[in-house]
Chains A and B, each alone.
Chain A
Amino acid sequence: MNELEQRLRDALRGTAATVDEHVERPFPERASRRARSRLPVVPLAAAVAVLVVLAAIVGIVSLRDGGKPEPQQRPNVPRFVLLSVPAKAGRPSRLEVRETLGGRLTASRDITDPGWEFDRVVGTGGGREFVVRTVPREDEGCAARLLRVSVGAAGELAEPRAMELRAPSGQRIEDVALAPSGRVAYWTQSCGAAEADGGTGAPVEGTLTVTDPSTAASRSWKVQDPLASLPALTWLPDGRHLLFSGEGMLDGGTLHLLDTATTRSGDVVKAGRVLFTSTEGSVVAVTPVNGGRSLLLAVREGGRPKGRVADGGDLEPMEPLSTGVKLVRISLSGTVERAVVPVPVRRPSDVLTVEADSSGRHVLVRSGFADVDSGRFTPLPWLGGVTDVAW
Chain B
Amino acid sequence: MTTPALVALYREHQVGLIRMAILLVGDEATAEDVVHDVFLRMQDRPPRLDDEGKLLAYVRAAVVNGCRMVLRRRRWSWGRTEQHEPAVWSAESAAILSEDRREVMRALQRLPRRQREALVLRYYLDLTDEEVSQAMGIRPGTVRSTMTRALAALARELGGEVR
Number of interface residues of B (CB under 8 A): 74
A9 to B112 Cα, complex, angstroms: 18
User: Which residue of A has the minimal Cβ distance to B103?
Assistant: A11
**Does B91 sit at the interface, judged by CB under 8 A?**
yes
A231-B77 contact, Cβ under 8 Å, with A18-B95, A29-B43: yes
Q: Is the CB of A15 within 8 A of B74?
A: no
Interface residues of A in 14-30 (CB under 8 A from B): 14-19, 21, 25, 27-30
Contacting residues, chain A, for B89 (C-beta < 8 A) = 15
- Is the interface on chain A under 10, 10 to 19, 20 to 34, or 35 or more residues? 35 or more
Contacting residues, chain A, for B120 (C-beta < 8 A) = 12
Interface string of B1-36 (1 = CB under 8 A from A): 000000100110011001110110010110111001
**Does A321 sit at the interface, judged by CB under 8 A?**
yes
Contacting residues, chain B, for A2 (C-beta < 8 A) = 162-163
**Does B51 sit at the interface, judged by CB under 8 A?**
no
Q: Is the CB of A138 within 8 A of B138?
A: yes
Contacting residues, chain A, for B96 (C-beta < 8 A) = 18
A140-B151 contact, Cβ under 8 Å, with A321-B84, A384-B44, A387-B69: no
Main secondary structure of the interface of A (DSSP, over half): loop
Q: How far is the CB of A188 from chain B (nearest CB, A)?
A: 11
Q: Is the CB of B73 within 8 A of A7?
A: no
A11-B109 contact, Cβ under 8 Å, with A320-B85, A321-B84: no
A25-B32 contact, Cβ under 8 Å, with A140-B112, A231-B78, A321-B81: yes
Contacting residues, chain B, for A89 (C-beta < 8 A) = 137
Q: Is the CB of B26 within 8 A of A10?
A: no
**Does A348 sit at the interface, judged by CB under 8 A?**
yes
A384 to B26 Cα, complex, angstroms: 25
Contacting residues, chain A, for B158 (C-beta < 8 A) = 4, 7
The 27 listed contacts between A and B (C-beta, < 8 Å) are: A2-B162, A4-B155, A4-B158, A4-B160, A4-B163, A5-B151, A7-B100, A8-B104, A8-B108, A10-B101, A11-B105, A12-B120, A12-B123, A14-B97, A17-B19, A18-B95, A18-B97, A25-B14, A27-B10, A27-B39, A29-B43, A140-B113, A197-B87, A317-B92, A318-B86, A352-B77, A385-B41
